[in-house]
Amino acid sequence: MTIKEFSNLCGCNPQTIRYYDHMNLLKPVKVDDWTGYRYYDEGQALDYVKIKNLQIAGFTIDEIKVLLCADDETIYDAFSKKINEQEKLLQRMIEIRQSYQRELTVMKNKIVELHKSIKGSMESYSPAEEFGINSEEFDEIVKNLDSYFDEMLESGDYSKYKILDYSEENEKKAEHDFKDCLSNPDLEIVYECHEWKNVKEFYDNIPELIDGKEYFFQFKLDAEKINNTAFANTLLGILCLKNKNKKMSLKCNVIHSDNDKNHFWLLKRKNVEAGK
């Protein structure tokens, strides 16, 4: 019978039969030398049934080729083995889903606790002496911080969590990242100030941040400042408020000062727009 007649018998389209021929799974009994037409006999419909069901069950082409030559008992055993594999895979997927839910819950709780910790430190923080801003400006910064955490929890995007949790990073790694930043040839120092007491002494001298750029704020702080998480969050909050209509990447790295003096560097990535 022709490929059209055979495909009608099998209940499929001719393209499927051609594909099985191409994969050397179901070869025609005859191919006309002149026309190239494929011809099949009725008995091959049983092979089609085997191929189709083995394929649906997830057997590979090579596995199907072996099983086509096997007896029914061997095929049943192969199905049983495949079922066992799928049951193990399903159980593994269930375990992964449960683990994912547990880890997600733990991460959410950590972020909530971090939010409480940072907000608590900021609520007891007086920014006037350090930054020279009034209470209304500071309240706006705290409000933006709340929105930031709420948005993170709502969206499920926790990629910035490590940046927020900088105070818990290993000190050696923080120092290594700090040195890497200052020596990175792709970054340029656009401003620096040393041995200052409060940020308000030099804040107005910081160059205007350019839209679309990536900036790095590097601090070496004395013990009093570095132990207060409100310091870096307030500074970044002030910068975000001042540049709220600009698309920028702001990153802050803080380490202990080696001479108990305060030091600051502002670096910018050379000729690269933020996010690219």
Confidence at residue 167, expressed as pLDDT on a 0 to 100 scale:
45
d(CA 203, CA 241): 14
HEC secondary structure over 182-211: HHCCCEEEEEEEEEECCHHHCHHHCCCCCC
At residue 19, the pLDDT reads 95
Specify the pLDDT at position 158: 57
Domains of the chain: which residue ranges?
3-69, 129-273
What gap in Å lies between CA 177 and CA 236, rounded to an integer?
19
Q: What local confidence, expressed as pLDDT, does residue 159 receive?
A: 57
Residue 179 has a pLDDT of 81
Number of alpha helices (DSSP H) and beta strands (DSSP E) in the chain: 11, 6
Which residues of the chain are under the pLDDT cut of 50? 162-169, 274-276
Among 165, 185, 197, CA closest to 267: 185
What pLDDT does residue 170 have? 53
User: Considering the domain 129-273 in this protein, what is its CATH number?
Assistant: 3.30.1330
Q: Which fold has domain 3-69?
A: Multidrug-efflux Transporter Regulator; Chain: A; Domain 2 (1.10.1660)
